[in-house]
Amino acid sequence: MSSKTCKIKHSNGNFGDTPVFHLEIPKRDVYRKMILDFSEKEIGLSTFYNLCPNNFKKGKKRTDMCPTCHIGKKNVKRLTEIQTPNTETVFLKTQIEKEVEIYNNHINIKSIQEDSYKKLVQNLKNGECVLIMDFKENFRLGSGPIKTSTDFYSKPQISNLGFELIVKGTKNILNYEYFNYLSEILSHDSKFVLNFLESLLKKEEFRFIKKIHLWSDSGPRFRSCEHFYSVFF
């Protein structure tokens, strides 16, 4: 059971807060199990979905979240909860307002970047490409539902550096290609990125590319002096 709640309409017609339950298996699998256990029940999958209470949800895992956005959304909610600040909460309200202002500026910059990216992709010319690079979450190979202590500590982590290449093909149709570099090196530093970037640019796909628009997030390995010097010089 989750600590979150959602609004559910009760039998008396009123809405009330009800605890959210996260399912360990998809609803489709729940439906199949129900059909096997209660074969006399004639119910379709779509009807089953409609009858499922809204407080039963599939568990989700969110990774690589922007810390400014994650904290900013919480602060916006906290600010609305302080309706009439008193002597004890007035200082807290002032601090939260400053953090919310930072969050709003961050959102504005994000919107500007998104618009710039969309315009760039839409107006790509022949001989140009957009190259996006980012690290994915580290993972372990050979993991299963049951792990012994030896498996947990002996299986090495693998880093995953991903690239997305966007070029304009025939009839102005955008073509997308993806490249992933896996390594047991977990440093995630600029040297790591530059080594694989250099290897990528030697591929046949870049043979006729004269101009590369390089995009990444604002991670430290992508905005270091070492990275900028190697890319531009």
Q: Which helix (H) or strand (E) holds 41?
A: none
Task: Look at the chain and count its residues.
Answer: 233
**Predicted pLDDT of residue 206:** 93
Q: pLDDT digit string (tens) for 3-26?
A: 677 777 777 778 878 888 878 788
CA atoms within 13 A on the CB side of 134: 11
The most confident of the ranges 74-83, 140-149, 184-193 is: 184-193
Single-letter code of the amino acid located at 64: D
**Predicted pLDDT of residue 198:** 93
**Predicted pLDDT of residue 145:** 61
* Boundaries of every domain in the chain: 5-58, 67-107, 124-232
Q: List all residues 6 or more positions away from 156 whose beta carbon is below 8 Å from its beta carbon.
A: 140, 141, 184
Q: pLDDT digit string (tens) for 37-91?
A: 887 778 888 888 888 888 887 777 666 678 888 899 999 988 888 777 677 778 8
Tell me if residue 69 falls in helix, strand or coil.
helix
- Is the pLDDT confidence value at 180 over 90? yes
Tell me if residue 157 falls in helix, strand or coil.
strand
pTM of the model: 0.67
**Predicted pLDDT of residue 17:** 80
Q: Which residues of 21-35 are buried (b: 16+ CB within 10 A; e: fewer)?
A: eeeeeeeeeebeeee
Q: Which residue has the higher pLDDT, 50 or 213?
A: 213
Range 185-209 average pLDDT:
92
